């Protein structure tokens, strides 16, 4: 990275709630069907947190696993970045709440709000602190409790989303390995295509906003779909070009898990076999910022990633935002 210290992922972890919400369950709640959901999205079930669980609780479980795999303690962390659009509270940040839960007393902490692209924004941010020598260990977590802001009377959105958390510990790795390139982008003109209208300073919470369901997420599905197909492909092409890597060299693609048709478009575009793509959409639905790190952790656990592999992470989300990174996998600390 231009003479800077090489940075990679030293350990991953994930956590999803126990409760499973199936398509059959949703058939009893709204006018939909298993066939309709599967054919249009590829989703069969999703995980839903309990009323008592908050985002920091899910993040805590994922973080513990990532720290264990990275063989470092919470006290060694220099920074915690939590990517989420469903924070425990507006402030303090969920990262600060997590810092206290973990006992990571020397870590700085902040939240990142980039919706489904949040984990990639967090990884790109954390990488810079390590690359320039300011920090050694950064914990990045994508976590969402989207069930808290999903309207289960809206059949167009309630079938899509689930809860979960995925974590990665970043640290220095051997020169030439780790993150090779990043591509981050945003198009604020499309912000209203995927949003939560009320609850901020523009539309503070009132009895009226609650009565009008304005605290639930809203999405213009067809417009977001077209945007997603375009930027998933272009962002992947950009990180390949920046890293000087051919598409044939991709060992594993870990895409945001929003819709199987979007993932299939990327598979065809880059000529990948399905064994080179991480897909868990059918079991978890769209977990926003948690989708990519959970899919990555599951791939690692299944032995689908080995040192030296070329791994591409790519996603898109509200904002509108997009992001991608390419790394040469190496979990050995330098």
The catalytically annotated residue of 23, 259, 280, 286 is 286
Whose tokens are 């369901």? That residue is 213
d(CA 80, CA 16): 20
Catalytic, 215? Answer no
Angle between helical axes of 260-269 and 221-243 (0-180°, round to 10): 30
Whose tokens are 């808290």? That residue is 148
The catalytically annotated residue of 23, 116, 280, 330 is 116
- 267: helix, strand or coil: helix
Beta strand 310-317 with 252-255 is parallel
The catalytically annotated residue of 49, 256, 259, 280 is 256
Beta strand 252-255 with 138-145 is unpaired
Catalytic, 23? Answer no
Catalytic, 96? Answer no
Identify the CA nearest to 327 among candidates 213, 249, 230. Answer: 249
Question: What sign does the CA torsion over 291, 194, 225, 43 have?
Answer: positive
Tokens for 247?
């598409």
- 109: helix, strand or coil: strand
Q: Where are the alpha helices (DSSP H) in the chain?
A: 23-27, 34-41, 55-70, 94-102, 118-131, 207-211, 221-243, 260-269, 281-284, 291-301
For residue 195, the cross-strand partners are 218
Residues serving a catalytic function are 116, 256, 286
């Amino acid at each position: 990275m231009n003479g800077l210290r090489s940075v990679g992922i030293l350990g991953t972890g994930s956590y999803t709630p126990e409760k499973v919400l199936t398509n059959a369950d949703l058939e009893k709640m709204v006018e939909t069907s298993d066939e309709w959901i599967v054919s249009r999205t590829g989703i069969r079930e999703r995980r839903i947190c309990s009323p008592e669980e908050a985002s920091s609780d899910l993040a805590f479980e994922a973080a513990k696993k990532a720290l264990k795999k990275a063989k470092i303690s919470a006290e060694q962390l220099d920074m915690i970045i939590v990517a989420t659009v469903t924070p425990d509270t507006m402030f303090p940040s969920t990262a600060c709440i997590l810092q206290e839960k973990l006992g990571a007393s020397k870590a700085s902490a902040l939240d990142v709000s980039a919706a489904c692209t949040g984990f990639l924004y967090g990884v790109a941010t954390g990488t810079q602190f390590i690359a320039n020598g300011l920090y050694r260990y950064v914990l990045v977590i994508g976590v969402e409790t989207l069930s808290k802001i999903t309207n289960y009377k809206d059949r167009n959105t309630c079938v899509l989303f689930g809860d979960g958390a995925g974590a990665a510990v970043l640290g220095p790795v051997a020169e030439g390995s780790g993150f090779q390139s990043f591509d981050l982008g945003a198009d604020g003109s499309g912000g209203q295509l995927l949003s939560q209208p009320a609850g901020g300073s523009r539309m503070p919470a009132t009895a009226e906003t609650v009565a009008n369901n304005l605290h639930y997420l809203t999405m213009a599905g067809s417009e977001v779909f077209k945007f997603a197909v375009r930027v998933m492909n272009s962002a992947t092409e950009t990180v390949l070009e920046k890293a000087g890597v051919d598409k044939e060299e991709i060992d594993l693609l870990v895409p945001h898990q929003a819709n199987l048709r979007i993932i299939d478009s990327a598979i065809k575009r880059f000529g990948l076999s399905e064994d080179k793509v991480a897909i868990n959409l059918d079991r978890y639905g769209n977990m926003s910022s948690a989708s990519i790190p959970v899919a990555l952790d599951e791939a690692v656990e299944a032995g689908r990633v080995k040192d030296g592999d070329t791994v591409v992470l790519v996603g898109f989300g509200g904002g509108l935002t997009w992001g991608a990174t390419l790394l040469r996998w190496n979990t050995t600390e330098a």
